[in-house]
C-alpha cells in the first residue's frame, strides 16, 4: 500500500497538485515503521514537496 501512496504522490506532483501529493506521502509515512529506510525516503520527498508548495504559496 505504501507503494501506491508514493506513486499517487508522484503523479499528483507531476500534475501540479502538491497538496494532494503531501497527503499521499503523509499516508505512506503513517504506514511505515519509524527509523526504517523507506520512511526516510518518504520523509525526504515530503520535505521537498512541502518546500515547493511553500515557494508557490509565498511567491
> Is the distance from CB of 21 to CB of 50 less than 8 angstroms?
no
Cα separation, 14 vs 42, whole angstroms: 16
Looking at residue 45, its pLDDT comes to 99
Burial class (CB in 10 A: 0-12, 13-18, 19+), 26: middle
* Residue ranges of domains in the chain: 2-58
Q: Looking at the predicted structure, is the pLDDT value of residue 59 above 90?
A: no
Q: Looking at the predicted structure, is the pLDDT value of residue 20 above 90?
A: yes
Cα separation, 28 vs 7, whole angstroms: 10
Q: 3-state DSSP call for residue 43?
A: helix
What's the pLDDT tens digit per position in 23-57? 999 999 999 999 999 999 999 999 999 999 999 99
Amino acid at each position: 500500500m505504501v507503494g501506491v501512496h508514493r506513486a499517487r504522490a508522484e503523479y499528483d506532483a507531476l500534475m501540479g497538485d502538491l497538496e494532494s501529493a503531501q497527503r499521499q506521502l503523509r499516508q505512506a509515512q503513517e504506514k511505515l515503521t519509524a527509523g526504517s529506510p523507506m520512511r526516510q525516503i518518504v520523509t525526504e520527498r515530503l520535505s521537498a514537496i512541502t518546500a515547493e508548495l511553500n515557494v508557490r504559496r509565498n511567491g
